[in-house]
Structure 1
Amino acid sequence: MMNAMDIESIRIHQLGPDDWQRLRRIRLLALAEAPYAFGSTLSWAQTRTDQNWRDLLALRTQFLATADDHDLGTVGAIAEDNAAHLISMWVTPEARGTGVADLLVRSVIDWATAKNYPDIHLEVSAGNATAERLYHRHGFRRTGVTGTISPEDPRLEFEMRLTLSTNP
C-alpha cells in the first residue's frame, strides 16, 4: 500500500483521444470493484465496442492518476448547461487515503476554472459518506436536489455543487 510519503510520485494525466484503452481498462476495474458507486454496470461496459470507448473519450475530459506506471484512479468532467459536471470518480483500494482522490478532484476544479465555468456539480449516492467528505473538503455542498441513480437503479443520490470564483 502507498503511504503519504509517496504523494510526490503521483502524476495526473489528461487522457487524449488515443488513450481509450487506458480509459476502458480503469473503467472496467472501477465497475468491478465498486459497482455501488456508479450508475452504469460492468456487464454493460463490457459490451462497448472499441469505437464506443473512443467516442466516450471524445465527449469528456478524463484524468488518470498514476505512479510508477500504475493506474491509481480516474475522474471525468463534461460540460453541461454552462457548468462543469464531475463524473466517474474512482480510486483503487490500495491508493485510497493517500491523497490521490484529492489530486483528481483538484484536476477537475483546475480544468473547470480554466474553462471559466461558474460552478461544478456532481452526484453522490446516498450512504457514500467517504465520497461526500472528499467533495466537502474541496468546497462542494449539497444543493437539496435528489433523485434516483437511473430508471433501472432506484438508489437515491444527491447533488453537490461548488461555485467557482469568478475573475473580476
Structure 2
Amino acid sequence: MDIESVRVHQLGPDDWHRFRRIRLLALAEAPYAFGSTLAWARARTDQDWRELLAARTQFLATAGDHDLGTVGAVAESDVAHLISMWVAPEARGTGVADLLVRSVIDWAAATGYLGIQLEVSDGNIAAERLYHRHGFRRTGVAGAISSDDARLEFEMRLTLPARPQTVWRAVDDGPCTLGS
C-alpha cells in the first residue's frame, strides 16, 4: 500500500454504516484495546450509530474502497478526547495511524481546543509510541479501563498552541492579531 493513496475523511451521521462496519472489525480484532465490547456494539440500532456519529467527530482512513482505520474525538470542556483509534492489521506500520492522529490534532487546533487527551491501556506499547511521536505525554493519571474491566490504562495529553485572536482596533477599525 502506498501511503500517498490514503485519504482521511470526516464521517457524518449518514455514514453510520461505514463506521459500524469498521468499529465491529476493530472490536473483533483488538478487543483488548477498547473499553467497549463487540457484543455491545452489535446490539446498537441503526439510529444509535447515527446518533453516535452526530455526537462526535470521527475520521476514516481509506485507500480506494478499502477502509484502513478510524479515530474519533469528543469534546470535554476545553480539550478534545481522542477515542476509538484503530488501524487494520495490514495497514499497521505504514503511516495510516499517523495520518489519523494528525487529523484529530489538526481538527482540535482548528476548532480552538487547548489540548487533546486520551487513554492508552497498559502494555499497548505501539499505541503509546504513536501518541508520543505526536507530542502526547503521560499525565500521571492512571486507572481501571472501566468498572467492568480492571485492566490499567494511562492518560496522555497534548497541549495545543494558543490560537491568535483577531480584534478590531478602535483607532482605524483595522484587524490586529494577538498572540502571535
CA root-mean-square deviation? 0.5
- Hey, what does 1:122 align to over in structure 2? 118
C-alpha distance in 2 between matches for 1:114 and 1:31: 30
- Hey, what does 1:42 align to over in structure 2? 38
For structure 1, the 5+ residue unaligned runs are none
C-alpha distance in 2 between matches for 1:81 and 1:164: 14
Overall identity of the aligned pairs, in %: 79
User: Deviations along 1:10-40, whole A, 9 cap, x unmatched?
Assistant: 0000001200000100000000000000000
Q: Within 5 A, what are the aligned runs for 1:77-156? A: 77-156=73-152
Match of 1:45, SS? helix
**1:159 has 2:152 as partner:** no
Amino acid at match of 2:22: I
C-alpha distance in 1 between matches for 2:162 and 2:100: 22
Match of 1:97, SS? coil
The TM-score normalised by the length of structure 2 is 0.90
Structure whose CA Rg is larger: 2
**1:59 has 2:55 as partner:** yes
For structure 2, the 5+ residue unaligned runs are 164-178
Q: Which gives a bigger RCO, structure 1 or 2 (Cα 8 Å, sep 6+)?
A: 1
User: Deviations along 1:94-135, whole A, 9 cap, x unmatched?
Assistant: 000000000000000000000110000000000000000000
The TM-score normalised by the length of structure 1 is 0.96
Match of 1:131, SS? helix
Residue 81 (structure 1) shift: 2.1
Amino acid at match of 2:138: R
- Hey, what does 2:170 align to over in structure 1? none
Match of 1:103, SS? helix
Aligned length: 164
